[in-house]
Each structure stands twice: as structure tokens, then as C-alpha cells.
Amino acid sequence: MRQSMTLIPTLRELPSDAEIKSHQLLLRAGFIKQIASGVYSYMPLAKRALDHIEQIIREEMENAGAAELLLPALQPAELWQESGRWYTYGEELMRINDRHDRSFSLGPTHEEVITSIVSDSVPSYKRLPITLYQIQTKFRDEKRPRFGLLRGREFIMKDAYSFHTSEESLDEVYQKMHQAYTNIFTRCGLDFRAVLADSGSIGGKDTQEFMVLSEIGEDTIAYSDASSYAANIEMAEVHQVYERSDEPEKELSKVETPGKKTISEVSGFLNVQPSHVIKSLVLIVDEEPIMVLVRGDHEINDIKVKNALDASSVEFADEERTKELLNCSFGSIGPVNLPATLKIVADNAVEAMVNAVCGANEDDFHYINVIPGRDFHVDKYADLRFIQEGDPSPDGNGTIRFARGIEVGHIFKLGTTYSKAMSATFLDENGKAHPYIMGCYGIGVSRTLAAVAEQFNDENGLIWPTAIAPYDIHLIPVNMKDTEQKDLAEKLYTELKEHRYNVLFDDRNERPGVKFKDSDLIGMPVRVTVGKKAAEGIVEVKIRKSGEMQEVKAGDLLEVLTNIFKEL
Amino acid sequence: MRQSMTLIPTLRELPSDAEIKSHQLLLRAGFIKQIASGVYSYMPLAKRALDHIEQIIREEMENAGAAELLLPALQPAELWQESGRWYTYGEELMRINDRHDRSFSLGPTHEEVITSIVSDSVPSYKRLPITLYQIQTKFRDEKRPRFGLLRGREFIMKDAYSFHTSEESLDEVYQKMHQAYTNIFTRCGLDFRAVLADSGSIGGKDTQEFMVLSEIGEDTIAYSDASSYAANIEMAEVHQVYERSDEPEKELSKVETPGKKTISEVSGFLNVQPSHVIKSLVLIVDEEPIMVLVRGDHEINDIKVKNALDASSVEFADEERTKELLNCSFGSIGPVNLPATLKIVADNAVEAMVNAVCGANEDDFHYINVIPGRDFHVDKYADLRFIQEGDPSPDGNGTIRFARGIEVGHIFKLGTTYSKAMSATFLDENGKAHPYIMGCYGIGVSRTLAAVAEQFNDENGLIWPTAIAPYDIHLIPVNMKDTEQKDLAEKLYTELKEHRYNVLFDDRNERPGVKFKDSDLIGMPVRVTVGKKAAEGIVEVKIRKSGEMQEVKAGDLLEVLTNIFKEL
């Protein structure tokens, strides 16, 4: 493509409202333009990069046995009412009425539509399993759109849905999708992890998020430094074995701790390690107050409390409620001498504590030399805390480290949540109806573009991996008014295109400084510069990533490029 | 693709609400499924056909020098308020409020967005002209969605916009687009015409519609039987020269015509040809009543009246208004003895009339032997009637015939309508600001798919042209449980894919009748059947279009197919 015929609106100045690199660079390099908060135009370079990402996705989806279709953005409210999400999705669901006052959602996802179609089209087990996917513009009215394409209100998704007669069949496709996603993000050149995630309110068992590692990520990942283990910190199980100290048990005793409330205040005042203090909190579990204990150096993970107690809702009691129950303030509560009606659950680490400290349910007093089991009864021990850096990896290999990640993909065993709600059934061999067992599998396509931009850049601009780069080569005659330069550049342009390179040809009458600055900013993998040595038939080849530069005879260019692209 | 892994929900029964063939067949062949009135899912076969149409469009757009981008569907109301269309577009514009109660349109077209982007990005004449296009889902809340994909509420469009410093530059790109469109619809295999169209209320001069000829088309086209001339009938100029009869002029005379009102009643009663009667109507032109005359066998074209009088609005006066003015009913009005304040304009044909008949502005009476000029004054003669079949073609070649057409494309010189309204300007060589001169160019992509289906089918189903067909070859083992058939089919499947054929492999365990019926219905260009002669290494090749069938040795299959696809 001749640069004069496309639109690459590069900016010299840093956009003031762009906080993160990918957002700044995609704006500055003329890849995107904001039309409204969280709504962007994809300019020609971005469109080409998106095409490449989409092509990779299509190839891997096809390999995984999925068939592509395209569902509408407008979805009748009735479908969402059937699934119940019309009432629960909240303000993120964009809703619109047509001229006859019928309500529609603007699809943020398509479980309802696809379930309705499959239910209508695949009545029998004979035609199952089936996996269908689409690449489509989606809408979600984010409360705080930000980070450019990372959290927008109109964005491009790949969403796939699979339908099965059995859990085994779902497992199989789930694994295929896991492999496809691994291939996709590997081909995109991304540094990512497949991370165990919370299945949230939808139910279902297995779910994994594909996270691109990045400081600006909104999620924290716990990963092993020695294996492929990775999980959302909310989900990471703690498999640590806590050794009980063999120090002699001392007698329980109440001590004054005037004004000391936090773990660090109490442990400092009593001159013990925070790990010797029992942290006690009241949580409201399915409307019943329960006391939860963890070690002073640990944090309670309410999702684990919820799972351990098989509850459907868990929240932390506020100070007022706590006072009502125990007649003391937050910092002074503890498990000793509680009313028998108040259940106690504790993290496994608490079981190993000896001569510990805890609140005395009386302001300004704590107990010391507390022995769990001796001084209070624990109804249940379980893994109730957040994993921490330095903990052993739950898979037994290596030590846990933390990283931040951008979620670019999500695979999910939905089970029968939607099919049951929507009465979507197939007939088995005996003519008996069962709800489809379903999986769903998403990729944020426009978000992946931003994630690549976030991982690949330097102080001069973007550095596209070859698989995604809008063009392979940026061909730049330094001076288009110089006939020798122009002619050689035109000749090379034709030749390179014939050899199936995607070439961006900077045929603009701009100063060399502008051309080179733009070129670094937009970041094609290889730059071929036709300058003063054009008369001698010599051009310059520069690799954007390494900055490596070499002079090459025009006749050798193709060979040199073949080698460079082999390496890149 | 293995048929067991994709979803082709063919129907045995005719969908009750589908009136036209393309709609019926696309539903029956499992290409589309309706989700709501005018809102469809594109099932896997349709998605592949759309991909092929889009690929053809992309290639031709690139050849025409256009760059692809992707604009958002959500468009801030402010942009549409700037252009004024927020207030004039009416109920077809779908509108939505976000959670902060800001208004957006769901784009039916993108003049506003693209003008705003170019205005922001291309400040100087140096970077003009530029042509940008996208292929995108659009929304239009049709009052009466119908005919399946032909008039939907959510549909796929290719829309392109060009920006220029001069009319000459616009002319050049308009011509390039004309050529690109001709190439696109030719490559799609369509029988179409480029038709002169009305530029409507937008202003601008040249505009052409690309019409696929079809009985079910909603527009009537007047075309020459001997040249490429074609125009929307509203637009077709009449270049006929009317010879004045040399019969002697007779004396004006009033005759009784009791109860005779229509042209045919009056001409029958007076025993003259309808072409001897003057048809008189009152039109309200920019709020002023004007009498318009045409010959009794002609029809008044109000658009021509509007253009001839350089008016901005024209409508037919109702009977009440007419009575108020002339004190007689519709069928009795005429141009003789009118109040001087009432202007008369007449079609050119009227000037040549001799001894004609017209209403006497008195119920139950007509004049005979009326001579225009002698018996009444005509303020202006012009071409004011609809062209008719049999008229000479306005370009001087051949005779006019009528056909009906489906509009699949539209090219349009917008001029400065949008750039002026939105204050979108570039700076010329002297630093002076001018509004961009613009063109816009649309193709209904999903509508083109339907138009192809409408043109190519028979009683058994669809017949896809090779360029658009979802798959080139439908490979059908008659009995998948027969090992010889299955093995040979699998071998051919691999081989054909290796030779870059797109193959749909019917690996289902269905009865042969079902497989063949489905195959004819979905209409891939070539069917390869592996049946009982598999043991002898013989397969059957059938061309869908002609029904031609031949037995072929498996070893010769590739050669035979090469020859067939050369011809198709």
C-alpha cells in the first residue's frame, strides 16, 4: 500500500488522557481514534493488525473443529428474559427499543441466541457435539471505560459455544480449546499464562483465563516459578503443610492492650510476630454470622469461605453488626468464650498455632497463650486464606510468585445453566430429552491487539511481532523527488509485493526526519530505506526490534529479507 | 469441512412467511435463521458465502485505491446533530442512551463519523484525495422489514467515502468506483445494470444505483434494448420528438360528457384516442397551486415537475383543494379559461396536440378541438412525464424497455453537503480553508448474497456461482458405513483439500435421499458422489447448474475438476 493512499494519522504529542503505553502508542501511531468514551475507530493499520489476529484465530478454531457463523448484535429481550440475564446483567447491558417499542439488547455475549438456534436446529444426540464460533463487534456499557481498547464499550470478540451430550465430551472440547488458545496467543507472540479462574455466579466447574503478563493488568496472578501452574489469586489453593511448634503450652491469660487494634499494633505491643496473632473476623454467610480465623500474617479469602461452607453469599460484617454481636470493636474480637450459637471456621494455618494471641471480645484486652482446640472449638478447618508470594506452588513444583495480567481469553464449562433456563434439550438414543451440556470460549480480539502493543514497544514506538504486523516491510525512499531513489524504490515495491511481502511504501513528500520518526512509531518489523546510495544500488535494512542495521545491494535484498524473517 | 462438524439446518417445509425465492431458499437451505423481524443469524454456509463476496469487494476496493478501516456502530448524537440528520432521519435511525444518558445512534451509514475523522486527520490539500472504506454491520429500523436479507434491520454494508479538493478529482474517483462496482457484481456472477438515480434530498449531482435485475425488485428500471443506458424510471429523461399533426384546426367547442371523469371514460365516450385527451392536474409547488398538463396516455412525473420549476417541494393537490380553486371535480378540470393567477406548465407532448379534448372546469362538460397556444397559454413546456416502454432511449440508441431491479450498490457525489454542515475543511496551497468535496459509495453485502440467491436457483434449491459458493465441491459418500466408500471418500477429501479446493464432506450417517436432497438444496457448484462403484475406484461428478453427470475414475478426478471449474 502506498502511504499516500492510506490514512495513518500519527500524532507528535502524547494524548493527555491516555494512561498506559498501549493506549498512548495506538493513538500516537494513528492506529485508533476515539469517537466517544470507550468507543474507537480502527484506522487502516489497526484494521490490518486485527485481520491478522482474526486469521490466526480462525485457523486455530477450524483446527479445533469449530464452525464459523455470525449472529446478530440486536437480540430480542425475550431471549434474555428466558435466561434471566435481562434482570441480572445490570447497566452494562445496552438496551434499545425499536419503533414498535419492542426491547432488544445489544449483545455483549451470545449464549442466549446460540442456545436458541441450536435448540431449534439440533434436536438429536446424533448431531452432537457441535462447536460454533463467531468474530463480532460486542457492546458493554462499562461504568469506567479506560485504557483504550483494553476496556471499551464497543469491542471485537471471538466467542465460541459448544454443545454436548456428556461431561466427557465437554471435557474433550474444553481441552481442544485450551490448546487452540495456547496456540493463538503463542502465535501472536504474547507472554501469557493460562490461569485457573473463579467460575463466579454462573456455576459450572472448570474455567481458565488466558492472561497476558503486564504490570498494568487489572488482575493478580499467582504462578509457580518452576511449573505451568497459574491461578487467579482468588482461586489459588494453598497446599502448605503447617508444622505445629513443639514449644510447651502455656496457660491462657488475659492482658491489657490499651488502644491496640490492628495486628501490627497488637503484635508490636506484645512483642510477638504477626504470625503468632489470630486474626478474627465476622462474616455473614447466607445471612448467618460466622467467625472466621486466619493467622495474623494472612488474609481471608471470602470466595474460599463461600466454597468451604457451600454458601451462596458471603460478606464481611460491618463494625456495627460486629459490635451488636460481640459487644466490642473490630480490633478486639476473638474466638475464646464465644456464645455457643456463633460458629467458628479457621484456616488450616490456625490449627498449628501454639500460645497465640487473640482478641478478648472486650475493648483494650487480648488473650495470650491461646491454644486452638483447648481454648476454643473450631467447627471446620479449611483453606480460607489468599495465597502469598513465597508459598509453595499448589502443584508441588516450585514457589509462588505474583504477576499482573490482562485477560485476553476465557474458557468456561457452562454445564446446563443456560440450556436448563431456556428449556433447550436434545433427545438421547432412547428418545429422552436432556438439557445440552455447554461450554463457552471467548477471546478479546481488540483487547489482544492492545495487549500486544502493551508488550511490544520501546521509547520510539510500537514493535509489532511479524505475525500481527500490519505490514512486513516499511519501504522508505528518503527523497521522493530524487529520481534515482524514487525509481529504485518503485522497483523494489513491485518486486517485494510479487514475493508476497506486505509492503507499506512511504511515497510521501515529507522530510526524512518525519518519515523515520513515523516509521519507528508505527513499528513495522523491517524497514528498507532507499537513500543516497540508491545510485550505487545500495539500500539500508533495519530491524525494528533490535535496531540492527545493514547496507544491502538491491539485488541481494530478497535473500537478506528471507533470512531476517526466518529469524524474527 | 466435515458436515458433521458444521451446522446446516435445512428445512423440509416451506417457511410460511417467506414470500420470495431467495428468502425461502436461504431459510430452507439453512443459510440464515431469523432471530427477530428483519434480524437474522448468518449460519456457517452463509458466513462463507459472505466472506467470498467481501473478499471480492476488498480486492476491487484496493485496486481502486481505497484503504480499509473499521468505524464504530455507536455514534454520538452530537455528530448527527452537526449534520442535521439527527432531526431529519426519522424513525429508521435507531437511537440508544448509555448509562450516563448520553444519546447515540446505531450507525445506518457513516458520513458523519468519517467526515469528523478526516477533518481531524487531513488538514492539508497535500494528503488529498483519500478514499476510505469499511465492511460493517449496519442498523436501520425499517418500518416493514421483509424479503429476508433484502430489507432487514441489521445488515452488512460496504461503505466507502472519498475526500477531494476539486470536482475533477471527485469525478475521477467516482469513475474508478463505477468500474470497481462493475467488476464486483460481474465477479459475483450477477445480471445487473448501473442505473441513473435520483439524488434525492441530499443534493449532489451524479448518482447511480447498481441494480440486479429481478422480478421481485422494488424499483423499476428503464433501460435501452440496444445500449448500456439505464435509469430509474423516475429519472429517465424523455427525448422523444413529437410531430404536430397537420390536420386542420377546428373551432373550440364545449360538449356534454355526463358522468365521464377518467381519461378512458372521456375518450371512450367521445370516441377519440386517449392520446387526444389532455390530462390536467393541479400540483402544489412550493405552496403555490400550478396546473400541469400531460397527454392522456402519459403519466405526470412529479420529480420532473420539481426539477423543471426548480422547486423544493411538489405534491398533488387533493380533490378538496382542487374544487376550492376551480369549482369542479378532479375529472373535469382543464387549462381553458383559467384565472390568470394560475400558472400552467405542460409536457412537451402537449405542444404537438391538435384538436384535443380537455376538461371544461365544469362538472359533466369537456372542451373538444382544443389547440394549445390558441385556446390557453402555457407558461413552460418541459419533459414532465414518466418514460414508457417503447419510447426511444434517451441516449439515441434503441428503445426503452422496463425491468425490475434490486438495488445492491449506490455511488454518489455528495459534494460539500456534509463538509459544509460539519465545518470540515482543508487548507489549499495558499492556506485558505475549503470544505472537502466528497463522494460516498455503498454496497449491500448481505443484500448481494440474497440477490445472488434470487438469480441462481431452480426447483431443487440454490445454485451458487463458483466465486461465491460456500464450498467448491460437495463430496458425498452414499453410505458412510461401507468401508470402501468411506475410505475412498476420506482419501479424496484429503487430496482435494491439498489441491486448494474448498470441500464440504458429507460424513453424516444419513439416508442417500436425505443427502442428495440437502445437496441440491444448498447448491454447491460440483457434487462428487462416492457410491457403489467405489470398489472399482469410480465416482460420480455432477454439475449442479446443468445437472450434467459423469462417472470418473478416482485417479482422473483432479483433472476432470480442473476442466469443469475452468468452464463454470
Residue-level pLDDT at B205:
67
Cell 479469602 found at: A301
Task: Give the DSSP H or E segment for B136.
Answer: strand B130-139
Residue-level pLDDT at A77:
97
Instruction: Quote the CA–CA distance of A305 and A292 in Å, as a whole number.
Output: 8
DSSP state of A436: P
- Residue A205 covered by a domain: no
Angle between helices B44-63 and B167-187 (to 10 degrees): 140
Instruction: Quote the CA–CA distance of A224 and A217 in Å, as a whole number.
Output: 18
- Please give the single-letter amino acid code of residue A562: T
Within B341-399, strands assigned E span 343-347, 356-359, 365-370, 380-382
Cell 405552496 found at: B287
Distance of CA A288 to the CA centre of its chain: 34
- What tens digit of pLDDT does each residue of A332-373 get? 999 999 988 899 999 999 999 999 999 999 999 999 999 999
How many interface pairs between A and B have CB atoms less than 8 angstroms apart?
A: 169
The answer, for B143 touching chain A at a CB cutoff of 8 Å, is: yes
Q: Which three cell numbers stand for residue B101?
A: 444518558
- Residue A394 covered by a domain: no
- Please give the single-letter amino acid code of residue A186: T
- Residue B31 covered by a domain: no
Q: Is the pLDDT of residue A184 over 70?
A: yes
**What whole-number percentage of chain A has pLDDT above 90?**
91
Residue-level pLDDT at B204:
54
Are both A510 and A478 inside the same structural domain?
A: yes
Look at phi and psi of residue B23 and say left if phi exceeds 0, alpha if psi is from -120 to 50, else beta. Answer: alpha
* Nearest residue to B361 (alpha-carbon basis) of B370, B351, B349: B370
Query: How many Cβ atoms from other residues are within 10 Å of residue B88's Cβ?
Result: 10
- ipTM metric: 0.90
CB contact under 8 A, B120 and A47: no
Instruction: Quote the CA–CA distance of A23 and A17 in Å, as a whole number.
Output: 9
- Residue B10 covered by a domain: no
Nearest-CA distance A22 → chain B (Å): 19
Question: Could you tell me the pLDDT band of residue A296, with boundaries at 50, 70 and 90?
Answer: very high
What total of structural domains would you count in chain B? 3
Are both B354 and B226 inside the same structural domain?
A: no
Burial class, B73, CB count within 10 angstroms (exposed 0-12 / middle 13-18 / buried 19+) = buried
Are both B229 and B360 inside the same structural domain?
A: no
φ, ψ of residue B421 to 5 degrees: the values are -60, -35
- What tens digit of pLDDT does each residue of A120-148 get? 999 999 999 999 999 999 999 999 999 99
- What tens digit of pLDDT does each residue of A84-100 get? 999 999 999 999 999 99
The answer, for A67 touching chain B at a CB cutoff of 8 Å, is: yes
Q: Which three cell numbers stand for residue A214?
A: 503486564
Out of B39, B62, B74, the one facing A72 most closely (by C-beta) is B39
The answer, for B204 touching chain A at a CB cutoff of 8 Å, is: no
- What tens digit of pLDDT does each residue of A104-113 get? 999 999 999 9
Nearest-CA distance A47 → chain B (Å): 5
Are both B184 and B62 inside the same structural domain?
A: yes
Are both B348 and B428 inside the same structural domain?
A: no
* Nearest residue to B453 (alpha-carbon basis) of B193, B189, B195: B189
- Residue B421 covered by a domain: yes
Is the four-CA dihedral A42, A45, A47, A50 of positive or negative sign? negative
Residue-level pLDDT at A439:
97
DSSP state of B510: -
Instruction: Quote the CA–CA distance of B259 and B261 in Å, as a whole number.
Output: 6
Residues of B in contact with A70 (CB under 8 A): 41-42, 46-47, 50
The answer, for B47 touching chain A at a CB cutoff of 8 Å, is: yes
Are both B189 and B117 inside the same structural domain?
A: yes
- Residue B15 covered by a domain: no
- Choosing among A37, A82, A99, which should be mutated to test the B contact, i.e. which has the most B CBs within 10 A? A99
Angle between helices B44-63 and B445-455 (to 10 degrees): 110
Instruction: Quote the CA–CA distance of B379 and B367 in Å, as a whole number.
Output: 20
- Max Cα-Cα span within chain A: 97
CB contact under 8 A, A7 and B40: no
CATH of residue A263's domain is 3.90.960.10
Are both B195 and B331 inside the same structural domain?
A: no
User: In whole angstroms, how large is the CA radius of gyration of chain A?
Assistant: 30
- Residue B544 covered by a domain: yes
Instruction: Quote the CA–CA distance of A241 and A352 in Å, as a whole number.
Output: 9
Cell 441494480 found at: B211
Are both A448 and A486 inside the same structural domain?
A: no
Distance of CA A220 to the CA centre of its chain: 9
Residue-level pLDDT at B329:
87
φ, ψ of residue B198 to 5 degrees: the values are -80, 135
Contact residues for A517 (Cβ-Cβ < 8 A; gap 6+): A460
Are both A352 and A501 inside the same structural domain?
A: no
Is the four-CA dihedral A229, A230, A235, A239 of positive or negative sign? positive
The answer, for B535 touching chain A at a CB cutoff of 8 Å, is: no
DSSP string over B205-272: S-EEEEEEE-TT-SEEEEEESSSS-EEETTTPPP-PPPPPP-SPP---EEEE-TT--SHHHHHHHHT-
Are both A152 and A61 inside the same structural domain?
A: yes
Instruction: Quote the CA–CA distance of A522 and A10 in Å, as a whole number.
Output: 8
- Choosing among A33, A51, A91, which should be mutated to test the B contact, i.e. which has the most B CBs within 10 A? A33
CB A212 within 8 A of CB A196: no
Q: Which range of residues forms the domain containing residue A503?
A: 471-567
- Residue B143 covered by a domain: yes
Residues of B in contact with A99 (CB under 8 A): 91, 141, 143
CATH of residue A540's domain is 3.40.50.800
Instruction: Quote the CA–CA distance of B540 and B546 in Å, as a whole number.
Output: 15
Span B62-90, average pLDDT: 96
Question: Could you tell me the pLDDT band of residue A218, with boundaries at 50, 70 and 90?
Answer: confident
CB B186 within 8 A of CB B367: no
Residue-level pLDDT at B487:
97
Angle between helices A557-567 and A483-498 (to 10 degrees): 60
Say whether the peptide bond before residue A9 is cis (omega within 30 degrees of 0). Answer: no
Look at phi and psi of residue B166 and say left if phi exceeds 0, alpha if psi is from -120 to 50, else beta. Answer: beta
- What tens digit of pLDDT does each residue of B491-503 get? 999 999 999 999 9
Are both B52 and B171 inside the same structural domain?
A: yes
The answer, for A11 touching chain B at a CB cutoff of 8 Å, is: no
CB contact under 8 A, B106 and A106: yes
Instruction: Quote the CA–CA distance of A42 and A150 in Å, as a whole number.
Output: 14
φ, ψ of residue A243 to 5 degrees: the values are -85, 130
CATH of residue A91's domain is 3.30.930.10
Query: How many Cβ atoms from other residues are within 10 Å of residue A60's Cβ?
Result: 23
The answer, for A76 touching chain B at a CB cutoff of 8 Å, is: yes
Instruction: Quote the CA–CA distance of B123 and B161 in Å, as a whole number.
Output: 17
Angle between helices A44-63 and A445-455 (to 10 degrees): 110
Instruction: Quote the CA–CA distance of A379 and A396 in Å, as a whole number.
Output: 28
First and final C-alpha spacing in chain A: 22
Residue-level pLDDT at A204:
54
- What tens digit of pLDDT does each residue of B105-138 get? 999 999 999 999 999 999 999 999 999 999 999 9
- What tens digit of pLDDT does each residue of A187-203 get? 999 999 999 887 655 45
**What whole-number percentage of chain A has pLDDT above 70?**
99
The answer, for A471 touching chain B at a CB cutoff of 8 Å, is: no
Are both B313 and B351 inside the same structural domain?
A: yes
Distances (CA, A) of A478 to A507, A530, A534: 9, 6, 10
